[in-house]
Amino acid sequence: MREPKRNQFPDLGKDIGARFMAPIGSPSFWMYLFIGVLGIGGLAIWIELLKVCFGLGGTTSADGLRTAINTFFPAIGCGAALQLVTAEKQKPNLRAIGVAVGAILSGACLVALLLQIHHPWWSFGLGVTFSIVSLAMWWVANGIDQAYQEQVPDNVALGGPVNQPLAGSLAGYTT
């Protein structure tokens, strides 16, 4: 007899919650997020923001800033979605989330870029909103990555110096 199908949404919610909570206390995760993703990954946004704020190069329009934001979120979010799809071998529901979010971000990028023509503020709002979504996707994809965890992983052998004889003996063992 087959087991009744169970609702997998609670398990998916727990997985995503664990990925959000795991790096909260990790300084290396926060440094990578701020320096790598927001700083270097968002470099075009920072350059365009400086151009608009200080009129560098005679720029007083926010068109470049909108374009920078509308190309930032698919780069970060779709890359993180692909990372989740590739790295998550045992949890097909997380892979499905990666595929879905990647598709949504790709479509949102196209819509945001088309909206720039006649509705620049809608385009800007869409870009900012989906930038937040893409950062959440990056967080989920990287939240449990061992590279950001300072504790010793469970699968690491622990013990004393390797040049010492092992404790115990096989005396009395018969085959």
Q: What is the DSSP string of the chain?
A: -PPPP---HHHHHHHHHHHHHTTTT-HHHHHIIIIIIIIITTHHHHHHHHHHHHTGGG---SHHHHHHHHHHHHHHHHHHHHHHHHH--S-HHHHHHHHHHHHHHHHHHHHHHHHHHH-HHHHHHHHHHHHHHHHHHHHHHHTT-GGG--SPPTTS---S-TTSPPSS--TT---
CA-CA distance, 136 to 73, in Å (whole number)?
Answer: 11
* 173 located within any domain: no
Where is pLDDT greater, at 64 or 163? 64
Predicted pLDDT of residue 66 = 93
* 61 located within any domain: yes
CA-CA distance, 94 to 136, in Å (whole number)?
Answer: 14
Share of the chain above pLDDT 70, in %: 91
Cβ-defined contacts of 79-82 (< 8 Å, 24+): 79/138, 80/134, 80/137, 80/138, 80/140, 80/141, 80/142, 81/105, 81/137, 81/141
Predicted pLDDT of residue 79 = 96
* 14 located within any domain: no
Residue 49 pLDDT level (bands cut at 50, 70, 90): very high
Structure tokens at 91: 């949890």
User: pTM of this prediction?
Assistant: 0.79
Structure tokens at 84: 């989740």
* 74 located within any domain: yes
Predicted pLDDT of residue 133 = 97
pLDDT at residue 152 above 60? no
Q: Evaluate whether 129 touches 69 at the Cβ level (below 8 Å).
A: no
* 100 located within any domain: yes
* 1 located within any domain: no
Q: Evaluate whether 68 touches 48 at the Cβ level (below 8 Å).
A: yes
φ and ψ at 158, to 5 degrees?
Answer: -115, 150
Least confident of 26-40, 87-101, 136-150: 136-150
Domain range holding 46?
27-147
* 9 located within any domain: no
* 43 located within any domain: yes
The number of domains in the chain is: 1
How far is CA 111 from its chain centroid? 22
